[in-house]
Amino acid sequence: CRDRNRIALQADLLAADALGVENALIVTGDHMVLGDHPGAKPVFGLDSVQLLHVARQMRVGRDLAGDELSAPLRLCTGAVVAPEADNVDLQLIKLEKKIDAGAQFVQTQAVFDPAAFRRFMERAGPGVPVLAGIIPVTSPRMARFMNARIPGVNVPTWVIQLLNEAEMEDRRRVGAELLGQVARGAAQRDLGLHDHRLAGDHVA
């Protein structure tokens, strides 16, 4: 939503559908000041909740202006949530709004604390399928960059310390082992939730 107005966003959804894309992750987008073109002009004519609503309307055959489409949108649309954000209550409120607006699946921001992820899922309750974001971190520099530049991501201090202590040639292996631990921990659930799955190696 940051880079396109509502006309272009609808065109993108229709084009993706026409090209055979089956799933679309709907995000508002980080502000320009967080990227490498801070002087660029943002759009933000719609936010992710509004665009999810538009996509749901397009799935029943009408665009945002109320005009009938030649064929309804077939895309399965998803939303993002940050289960390890500082304000979990706010994330839960946003998640509810996104599901109500038509999100059919949820992709989380990077998970580094499986217990916190499971607590978040318990509070979220039954709903749409959830893909836990699993990111391999292979160096302290990468971890610090993620903490500084990617909103909603918090690589714990102990992870950075573990990578610092590892020999340079061992850091990829240590990162892979951490990735496996997080994935196994996030997958351990008996929460009565609907079809919660892990993504593969997800890169934000």
Report pLDDT for 192. 32
Amino acid identity of 31? H
- Look at residues 176, 157, 182, 180 and name the one whose alpha carbon lies nearest to residue 83: 182
What is the Cα–Cα distance from 99 to 83, expressed in whole angstroms? 15
Residue 204 has pLDDT above 70, yes or no: no
Amino acid identity of 128? V
Q: pLDDT for 133-154, tens place per residue?
A: 988 899 999 999 988 888 778 8
> Could you tell me the maximum CA-CA distance found in the chain, to the nearest angstrom?
61
Q: pLDDT for 26-47, tens place per residue?
A: 999 888 777 788 888 889 999 9
Residue 70 has pLDDT above 80, yes or no: yes
69: confidence class by pLDDT, cuts 50, 70, 90: very high
Contact indicator for 67, 73 with CB cutoff of 8 Å: no
Residue 86 has pLDDT above 90, yes or no: no
What is the Cα–Cα distance from 55 to 62, expressed in whole angstroms? 9
> What average pLDDT is seen over the chain?
87
Residue 195 has pLDDT above 50, yes or no: no
How many helical (H) and strand (E) elements, i.e. helices and strands, does the chain have?
Answer: 7, 5
SS3 76: strand
